[in-house]
Amino acid sequence: MVPAHQRSTAAATLNLFMTLLGLGIGPMAIGSLSDWFLPLYGQEGLRYALASAMCLMVSRSSCTAWRCRLTARGWRRWRLRPTPLVSEK
């Protein structure tokens, strides 16, 4: 995926974007959901906003786990394929 000499830079970049998105968009999205739920549930709107965010995280993590399983299965299949010793032209 990433060459060995660039792994630390790739990890730092990934961590930067995950932090910016998580701390930047997360609270704003929860606040917007809370405002949207306010006419329906009153003061309990924040509770339902947080609960709906948790439901979204659970569904997202299950999709990610499913995709990782498919990727691992494909990786094993690719590794088990015999490699030719001489390139055929």
SS3 86: coil
Per-residue pLDDT, 8: 92
Cβ atoms within 10 A of the Cβ of 41, count?
13
User: What does pTM read for this prediction?
Assistant: 0.59
Question: Looking at this protein, which amino acid is placed at residue 71?
Answer: T
CB 53 within 8 Å of CB 30: yes
CA 38 to chain centre: 29
Per-residue tens of pLDDT for the chain, all 89 residues: 778 888 899 999 999 998 998 888 889 999 999 999 999 999 999 999 999 999 988 998 998 888 888 887 766 666 666 665 665 55
Q: Would you state the structure tokens that stand for residue 61, as one six-digit string?
A: 């993590």
